[in-house]
Amino acid sequence: MLLAVLTTSCTTLKYAANQKITDKKDCVNVTLNGLIGIQIELENKSQHFFVDTGAMISTLLDSTAIENFSDKKLGSFGKNLSADKTKKQNRFLTARLSCPLFESKNKMLNLSLMPESNCSKGKYFKGILGLDVFFEDKTALVLDFTNNKICNIDIASIAQKLNESKGYKLLKSECKQNQIFVYVTIEGKEFKFKLDTGYTGNMIIPQSEKIQFRNTNTMILEGTLYTTVSSYTSGVEIYYEKMPMVFAGESFDAKVNVSSSIKVQNMGINFIKCFDWIIDYNNNKVYVKRNGNKIESNFNRKVSYYAKVTKDKLMISVKEKSQTKYNLGNQIISVNEKKITTENACEMQDFLNKTEDWNTLQLEVIPASK
């Protein structure tokens, strides 16, 4: 057994040592629909990945994206720690990967098959581009949310771009170990956030006795709110609206989530996209400029409950803490006298999750077993 582990680990170390990534000075159009979508060539076939500045290594999420995947030799080394601190064995492979921003004939990818809900129609994103494909060859990364573009530029040309595009401000930052951290002042206190375009929210802070915000504009949800690379989370999420902040020399209000399930302190794409970014990782310099995207400060809606199809059953997966009519884990067997079946469960899930007040509905449920 020990020999097998050592052999597999040596395969992974060989993959890491031999991979070569060449960055290109170019731009690429991206889609922005919850995540930053980008088209890449994987083994000479176009696939949809998303750009995740919170990921230290690029990841393959769907093995069917590679033809003859069974012929790939997998290596393993260490464990991956997701945002909820769930540990998962790392498995690695190499593949040809390219787009207008970089190319690699033997890019090492982590293989991590994300949890898939019963109602998903296959994985839309086949993989994740992490920070390991950027900042090679003395390049800086531009996240241009004004024009929905990502660019690699020469570090030497940053000064010219700053001169041409007025309004950029230098942030307090830390760039290390394939991670980017920036600082935000909330209610007069400075917080350090990891830049994480793979998180779809605004800002998330792990729950702690030290976190005692004065703001009382909150919504408290219990249950399964987030999906990480390796698992579904479960816990209590406290959402604050109209939180006073100072960032890049500007004062404004924004939303913040204090979480018992997520154990990292991250700034998500919903906030990141409200600025354009120039990231000079090699020299630890991060510049931002406010753009026209609106910073969300109010709750879009109040939430009473959310439902989720699990193993062909429609279950209550999230509830607002003060709600007592239904409990987490209740199985919903009819809505407005319409029986839930395998065929209509996903349709009814969507209907329920778009309904803000479940008191307007007639639900029949089976209580959760204790």
Q: DSSP string of 319-360?
A: EETT--SS-TTPEEEEETTEEP-TTTHHHHHHHHHT-S-GGG
Nearest to 180 by CA among 277, 297, 43, 71: 277
Give every CB contact of residue 287 below 8 A, 6+ residues apart in sequence: 158, 162, 168, 169, 170, 171, 277, 278, 279, 280
- The whole-chain average pLDDT of the chain stands at 89
DSSP reduced 3-state for 185 = strand
Residue stretches of the chain with pLDDT short of 70:
1-9, 77-88, 114-116, 121-123, 228-231, 370
Query: What is the predicted pLDDT for the residue at 7?
Result: 43
What was the pLDDT predicted at 301?
A: 82
Determine the pLDDT at residue 80. Answer: 59
> Would you state the pLDDT for residue 14?
76
CB atoms within 10 A of CB 227: 16
Which pLDDT belongs to residue 5? Answer: 37
Specify the pTM. 0.89
The whole-number pLDDT of residue 234 equals 79
pLDDT of residue 339: 97
The reported pLDDT for the residue numbered 182 is 98
Sign of CA dihedral 104, 110, 111, 113: negative
Cβ distance 47 to 67 under 8 Å? Answer: no
Closest CA to 84 of 214, 263, 348, 252: 263
Domains contained in the chain, CATH given: 2-133 (2.40.70.10), 169-290 (2.40.70.10), 305-366 (no CATH)
